[in-house]
Structure 1
Amino acid sequence: MENKDKLPINEPITIWDKEQRGHLKIFIGYAPGVGKTYTMLTEGNRRKKYGQDVVIGYVESHNRTETDDQIGDLEIIPLKKVLYNKTEMDEMDTESIIAKKPQVVLIDELAHTNAPGSKNKKRYMDVEEILNQGINVITTLNIQHLESLNDVVYQITGIKVKETIPDYIVDKADEIVVVDLTPDALQNRLNRGKIYDPEKVTHALKNFFRKVNLNALRELTLRQTAEEVDEELSEYMKKEGIRDNWHTAERITVCISAGPSSKKLIRRGARIAKRYKCEWYVITVTCTNRFAKKQSLKDRQLLHTHFQLAKQLGAEVATLEGKSVTEEIVKWCNEKHITQIFIGYPRRTLFELIFRGSTVSKLIKKLNNVDIHLIANEVK
């Protein structure tokens, strides 16, 4: 009888068993020369000093003296020869690393494309094999090699990066450390011949190493890693049941209705979000309470128009539903760790205020760590 669950031969399997898989640490930078390889080697020497079995799987020093000096007495696994078109190419020997089974292996240039004829097309695939054998990996990466940022990097630099890695490799990393250097300091290193040979410096400064490029790539790197840290913090808070807002990053929610003043609220939220360069949301709550006013076709059309404006200005939009408008907003704020709410001045009738109370007053009582901005309605 045929076993339908049997995997096809040579089907690649990625194992993410935290107990068996090695620990992945990535030193990430925004350009060549910021010090990623140097820092990786320094980390390797530090671990060796404290008794760990550390080897170098691959290192590319680019003949930089300071980097070469950092290799020190770290054991280097010899590279293997790959024959392609009658030419021998040096590549990392993944099989020898796995056979030796060190505690830690240092592997430079994670986004490298292996020579044709290698077992794996990309070096990150070799790294996955090594991690799956329980070996810890410390590696290096430049931000421009992330697949999701390929178009953004091209827009900034005018250079199409061909060697990329899937984002999940970084997402699954256990540690990400930014190796940072100011653009001025990096250009100084370039001028002193610390990155490229002197004859290449002028060309580099006019192209990739222009200050405007370096500033943009540096900000991109810092933002990307901040998002990774923010996701880890959110997961930790969720796991530990922490509902308080720690204000590590601003997150804005604009609460709207079908009223004409909602456009004013959305624009205000967009300006504040731009100032903080943060995530922001535009939400509306459909109240299912039997005393609540039902939405008309015109109301739904207006809300659709408001949401279109919000999306154009960069917001994420959502429609919530529940018997209590207040409770739905509170739940939303706790789940998204919202720090600021923008809401219009309540337009409830005296009857509604007496029997249902003020949404704003309830929010103030229930959201102690959220700043609530009450925005006046537009005068018709």
Structure 2
Amino acid sequence: MYNPKSDSSLPSDGLYGNPGGKRGKHKIFIGMAPGVGKTYKMLEEAHQLKAEGVDVVIGILETHGRRDTAERAKGLEIIPRLRVSHEGTVLEEMDTDGILGRSPQLVLIDELAHTNVPGLPHDKRYQDVEQILDAGIDVYSTVNIQHLESLNDIIARITGVVVRERIPDRLLDEADAVVLIDVTPETLEARLRDGKIYEQEKIQQSLANFFQRRNLIALRELALREVADTVEEEANNGELNGQSCNIHERVLVCVSTYPNSVQLLRRGARIANYMNAPLYVVFVADPDRFLTREESLHIETCENLCREFEGTFLRIDKQNVPQAIAQVADEYHITQIVIGESQQPAWKRLIKGSFTQKLMKRIHQQHIDLHIIATEK
């Protein structure tokens, strides 16, 4: 799975090189865990670009003793590391000034969430990346899903490990391309057992802790969802012909002052639960009409029930109900709308047209499924 903008077939003047002082482009390779192949894929693309004439260098590469990764790096220029003395120990870090001085078209930077040695201009490697991007140099970087700031509590709950090195979520939002490097948990376990991720003495410990099957399944789902969200947001920010691109299901239940709305809401909540989708409930109120006390209490009951189902309740003041529902559906990228069967007399539907027909006409271009639920009269 990948962001549409990440296709390596883009011309060299698209993603690589920024004449005229423009900010560099950033492509992030993300995965569910160490060993999925992020760095290898990054190096593979770099070789392709070099063959096309792109000036590409390695800014920092962490092979962790993986022979395949080290072999794939051969033939690419490497910026020498910066040697930093800290508390009597000499450590090696990425030489940001060296990269800026060399000024390539594209630089490869491994482990975006890395924390720098104290005393360097930036605390975090991603801050070095932002400086390099500001200088007009394009960057390829790698990161694992557990390093995202917003997922920190979830990751700790799943794995029992509190991740100390984190990056702000905005880096994914601002990236020009986000590529998910995905393998099955079974494949990753096999790589670990074959010694392709860690040395032999760390394999059993890893399998018993972070690399437990249930952890890998959960981490993979988080990675898939995160990239899907990024792709969906990217697509919707660049809508074509007024049409949005909705990857995730979202359910909207339309309630009214009719007593059967409670029954309708429960049915809609079940549909949302089956689809593992967010639930939205909308009530469209006529601004020229006051609700009776009984009607107000009924709508309040619907709102409280919506809250119990962990949904979002929306109250819209508008006379044209189908138009209001269509606008809410567009704003919240709804994919499923749930309504009750019409309570209008047959003669009124024949003369004025049914509510369902009017709503269908409004949402036709949005490719939304409409559920008409039979409820007790």
Query: Scaled by the length of structure 2, what TM-score is found?
Result: 0.89
Q: 1:110 maps to what in 2?
A: 112
Match of residue 329, structure 1, among 325, 329, 349: 325
Query: Is the contact made by 2:282 and 2:316 (CA closer than 8 Å) also made in structure 1?
Result: yes
- Aligned-pair distance for 1:354? 7.2
1-side partners of 2:299 and 2:101: how far apart? 62
Kept after mapping to 2: 8 A contact 1:83/1:117: no
- Determine the structure 2 residue equivalent to 1:373: 371
Matched, 1:51 2:50: no
Kept after mapping to 2: 8 A contact 1:256/1:343: yes
Asked if residue 347 in structure 1 is aligned to residue 343 in structure 2, the reply is yes
2:252–2:336 contact (8 Å) kept in structure 1: yes
- Aligned with 1:62: secondary structure? coil
Displacement of 1:214: 0.2
Secondary structure of the 1:57 match is strand
Aligned positions of 1:269-280 closer than 5 A = 269-280=268-279
Distance 2:226 2:308 in 1: 23
CA drift at 1:197: 1.2
CA offset digits 1:139-161 (Å, max 9, x no partner): 00100000000011111111111
Task: Tell me which residue corresponds to 1:39.
Answer: 41
Aligned twin of 1:192: 194
Structure 2: gaps of 5 or more residues: 1-19
Q: Which residue does the alignment assign to 1:4?
A: none
SS in 1 for 2:111: coil
1:1-380 matched pairs, under 5 angstroms? 20-237=22-239, 240-243=240-243, 248-288=247-287, 290=288, 293-348=289-344, 353=349, 357-368=353-364, 369-378=367-376
| Contact kept? 2:112, 2:142, Cα under 8 Å | yes
Indicate the SS of the match to 1:196: coil
What SS is found at the alignment partner of 2:375? coil
SS, match of residue 253 in structure 1: strand
User: What displacement does 1:21 show?
Assistant: 0.8
**C-alpha displacement of 1:351:** 8.5
Tell whether the 8 Å contact from 2:21 to 2:135 is kept in structure 1 after alignment. no
**Residues 60 and 110 in structure 2, CA contact (< 8 A), matched pair in contact too:** yes
Q: Give the Cα–Cα distance (whole angstroms) in 1 for the partners of residues 141 and 35 of structure 2.
A: 15
Kept after mapping to 1: 8 A contact 2:232/2:246: no
Offset, 1:299: 2.6
Q: TM-score, normalised by structure 1?
A: 0.88
Secondary structure, in 3 states, of the residue corresponding to 1:106? strand
The offset of 1:356, in angstroms, is 5.4
Secondary structure of 1:367 counterpart: helix
Give the aligned partner of residue 5 of structure 1.
none
Select between 359-368 and 88-97 the one with higher mean Cα deviation: 359-368
Match of 1:13 in 2: none
Shift of 1:331: 2.1
Number of residues of Structure 1 aligned to a counterpart in Structure 2: 356
Note closer, same or farther for the CA distance 1:38–1:273 as it changes in structure 2 (3 Å cut): same
Structure 1: unaligned runs, 5 residues or longer = 1-17
Higher RCO (CA 8 Å, separation ≥ 6 residues): 2
